């Protein structure tokens, strides 16, 4: 297929673009490089540096869009909600209009666990209430809502994948955000010497060891789900799937695994709770397993951390 990958110079988008090229698709990456890196665009993909509101030309002859481009820092979204609404919702609406103008009727969208907010039960199912607790999650939920409407009125075929905590690396493709908020890369930066210690945000949560529990999914497993989603798009339908490994690990458990993998003691500083962090976020991925036959292959936390560590130590 001829595919447009927005945000394909970023962490998740670059891994998916690499898998798409590998599978023989014709791939164009469109990215404004606001948080991405041009050298993350895989060999064999074309690169267009542009904002998602300027995608018209890049959509010529395209069969489907995989839409990763977004702002995705929860804290920044609280400080600058306008940026999140404009970029994530406004930008996506412009992209969807351009797709309609160019007759492109298929999209796979990066949604998030943040659309659920504080969950009522664990694991979270797609039918559970969506009550985002920050503008980032709200902007992503608004796109999901728009996709449902456009499927009904425009015949758009859409799949939203709600990622839980993405981690790990695929070969050279790794997480390298300039502002890094995610736990695993921050812990590993202590082992490379880039940081002196890692802060644990709260030890008084109602969890077995008092630290937050998350569902970490390997970026390669996540990427594979996009290729399955692409094949499952049905015009006029919007499908939503959670994507996690189905097992929760606490912050302390993650740090322990990072110590085992790196052989570094990784000093810890106990800090305050980070506002807006739910105690436990674990996905039920039963729907995508049942309907698309997806299965995580590198779900073990040791594998996820080892792959992230290998890629990081090769590049620092
Ligand atoms: N990483 C995670 O744990 C996680 C979890 C849930 C959802 N997501 C979603 O997955 C997607 C990818 O996340 P990521 O971690 O790879 O982030 P990232 O910041 O590495 O990648 C996003 C890419 O989009 C580009 N971009 C942003 N705004 C743009 C615009 N207006 N026009 C063109 N390009 C633009 C950036 O330059 C970057 O290359 C995002 O939509 C994010 O919300 C990520
Ligand atoms: O230096 C750090 C970084 C994180 N944490 C803790 O580690 C856990 C994981 O934090 P991350 O920042 O790695 O991930 P989040 O769970 O906050 O975020 C993920 O889930 C969100 C939904 O709530 C969004 O989908 C977001 O894009 C996705 O990365 C949280 O309990 C956080 O408080 C620390 O203790 N210290």
Ranges of CATH 3.90.25.10 domains, the chain: 167-215+246-314
Which two three-digit tokens encode residue 153? Answer: 């009125």
Measure the CA angle with vertex 89, ends 244 and 201; round to 5°: 45
pLDDT class of 72 with cuts at 50, 70, 90: very high
3-class SS letters over 81-133? HHHHHHHHHHHHHHHHHHHHHHCCCEEEEEEEHHHCECCCCCCECCCCCCECC
- 184/234 Cα distance (integer angstroms): 36
Homologous superfamily, domain 2-166+217-243:
NAD(P)-binding Rossmann-like Domain (3.40.50.720)
Ranges of CATH 3.40.50.720 domains, the chain: 2-166+217-243
Please report the pLDDT score of residue 193 as a whole number.
95
Which two three-digit tokens encode residue 200? Answer: 């644990």
Pocket test for ligand 2, best of 132, 164, 165 (most atoms within 8 A of CB): 165
User: Whose alpha carbon is nearest atom 32 of ligand 2?
Assistant: 201
User: Whose alpha carbon is nearest atom 33 of ligand 2?
Assistant: 201
Could you list the active site residues? 136
For residue 83, count CB atoms less than 10 angstroms from its CB and return exposed for 0-12, middle for 13-18, buried for 19 or more.
middle
Please report the pLDDT score of residue 248 as a whole number.
97
Provide the percentage of residues in the chain whose pLDDT is more than 70. Answer: 99
Which residues' Cβ are closer than 6 Å to ligand 2?
Answer: 72, 112-114, 165, 181-183, 186, 198-201, 212, 214, 251, 274, 277, 281
Give me ligand 1 centre to Cα 209, in Å. Answer: 31
CA distances to 5, 76, 173, 192 from 64, in Å: 9, 30, 23, 40
Ligand lying nearest the CA atom of residue 110: 1
Q: Is pTM beyond 0.95 here?
A: yes
The strand order across the sheet containing 157-163 reads 46-49, 26-31, 2-6, 64-67, 106-112, 157-163, 238-243
Give me ligand 2 centre to Cα 117, in Å. Answer: 13
Provide the percentage of residues in the chain whose pLDDT is more than 90. Answer: 97
Quick one: which of 127, 109, 106, 128 has its CA closest to 117? 128
Give mean pLDDT, residues 272-296. Answer: 95
Give mean pLDDT, residues 295-307. Answer: 96
Answer yes or no: is pLDDT of 142 > 60.
Answer: yes
Give mean pLDDT, residues 13-31. Answer: 98
Please report the pLDDT score of residue 312 as a whole number.
93
Please report the pLDDT score of residue 125 as a whole number.
98
CATH class of the region 167-215+246-314: alpha beta
pLDDT, one tens digit per residue, over 156-201 is 999 999 999 999 999 999 999 888 999 999 999 999 999 999 999 9
pLDDT, one tens digit per residue, over 98-134 is 999 999 999 999 999 999 999 999 999 999 999 999 9
The ipTM value here is 0.97
Please report the pLDDT score of residue 316 as a whole number.
57
Give me ligand 2 centre to Cα 251, in Å. Answer: 9
- 88/116 Cα distance (integer angstroms): 17
The residues pairing with 110 across neighbouring beta strands, listed in sequence order, are 161
Q: Is 213 helix (H, G, I), strand (E, B) or coil?
A: strand
- 282/310 Cα distance (integer angstroms): 26
pLDDT, one tens digit per residue, over 196-214 is 999 999 999 999 999 999 9
Ligand lying nearest the CA atom of residue 12: 1
- 240/163 Cα distance (integer angstroms): 11
């Amino acid at each position: 297929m001829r595919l447009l990958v927005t945000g394909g110079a970023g962490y998740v988008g670059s891994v998916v673009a690499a898998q798409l090229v590998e599978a023989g698709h014709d791939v164009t990456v469109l990215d404004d490089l606001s948080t991405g890196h041009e050298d993350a665009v895989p060999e064999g993909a074309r690169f267009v540096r542009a904002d998602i509101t300027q995608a018209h030309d890049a959509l010529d002859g395209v069969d489907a869009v995989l839409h990763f481009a977004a702002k995705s820092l929860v804290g920044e979204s609280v400080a600058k909600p306008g940026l999140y609404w404009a970029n994530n919702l406004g930008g996506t609406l412009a992209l969807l209009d351009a797709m309609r103008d160019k007759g492109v009727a298929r999209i796979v969208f990066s949604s998030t666990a943040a659309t659920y907010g504080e969950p009522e039960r664990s694991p979270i199912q797609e039918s559970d209430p969506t009550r985002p607790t920050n503008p980032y999650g709200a902007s992503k939920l608004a796109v999901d809502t728009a996709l449902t409407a456009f499927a009904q009125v425009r015949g758009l075929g859409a799949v939203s994948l709600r990622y839980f905590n993405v981690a790990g690396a695929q070969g050279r493709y790794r997480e390298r955000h300039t502002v890094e908020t995610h736990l695993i890369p921050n812990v590993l930066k202590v082992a490379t010497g880039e940081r002196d210690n890692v802060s644990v945000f709260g030890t008084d949560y109602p969890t077995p060891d008092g630290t937050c529990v998350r569902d970490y999914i390997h970026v390669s497993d996540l990427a594979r789900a996009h290729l399955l989603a692409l094949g499952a798009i049905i015009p006029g339908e919007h499908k939503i799937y959670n994507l996690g490994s189905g097992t929760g690990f606490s912050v302390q458990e993650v740090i322990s695994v990072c110590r085992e993998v790196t052989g570094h003691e990784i000093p810890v500083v106990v800090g305050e709770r980070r506002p807006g962090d739910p105690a436990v976020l674990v996905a039920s991925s039963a729907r995508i397993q049942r309907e698309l036959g997806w299965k995580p292959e590198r779900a073990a936390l040791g594998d996820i951390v080892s792959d992230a560590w290998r890629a990081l130590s090769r590049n620092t």
